[in-house]
Amino acid sequence: MEAVITQNVDGLHQAAGSENVIELHGNGQRVICPACSATYASKTVRERVKRGDTPPRCELCDEERILEPSVVLFGEQLPEHAFYRAHAIAQNSDVFLVAGSSLTVEPAASLPSLAANRGATLIIVTHDRTPLSDRAEYDFRADVTDVLPGLRRAITEREYWLFTHTIRESRVHGIRSRTHRRRTGNRLIEHR
């Protein structure tokens, strides 16, 4: 998996071990200086406030601006860098997995559509129908905690099978096995 693109601001993806997390709406565990963009841990700033340091100001820049939450508030623009990274990943995805989103909050809701338009396999896992359910090659209407472990297992087992099959074939025939794929309707057909 190349990246996790999230609208959540709780930092739980990183806590779960995800490494390349693009936070479209920021992170509630940080605060930021609007002048110099210095970031601080929210917990540290809360401790400063408890000690009487109010309002909390930036300690690094000359402007001593009041620190702000590092999240996108209603009516604010998404951080450009995060959205551009997410957009680039969507454009270049082979598979785009949507987990637990209603796909109604823009501009993030446009990312799966962008990926599908560029030929990516679109997988949606959520309780309810979404605006992109008809375009998804796989649309699971269930809880992500039930579907994702099984999906991971299926992918891992398939990759292992393909790897061992490729090694075996190349040893037998002295050639490299290659997989060719083409789309037909909603199916992916593999030719060996």
CA distances from 46 to 40, 51, 53, 67, 183 (A): 10, 9, 9, 11, 54
| Listed residue (153, 103, 158) closest to 125, CA to CA | 103
- Out of 13, 25, 173, 191, the active site residue is 25
Residue 33, annotated as binding a ligand: yes
Planar angle of CA 109, 90, 157, nearest 5 degrees: 105
CA-nearest of 41, 42, 2, 40 to 18 is 2
Determine whether 127 is an active site residue.
no
Distance CA 147, CA 153 (A): 10
Say if residue 19 carries a ligand binding annotation. Answer: no
58 is in an annotated binding site: yes
Is 36 annotated in a binding site? The answer is yes
DSSP string, 9-70: -S-HHHHTT-SSEEETTEEEEEEE-TTT--EEEHHHHHHHHHTT--S-B-SSSTT-PBPEEE
CA pair distance 148, 185, nearest whole angstrom:
25
Please give the positions annotated as active site: 25
Binding-site residues for Zn(2+) sit at: 33, 36, 58, 61
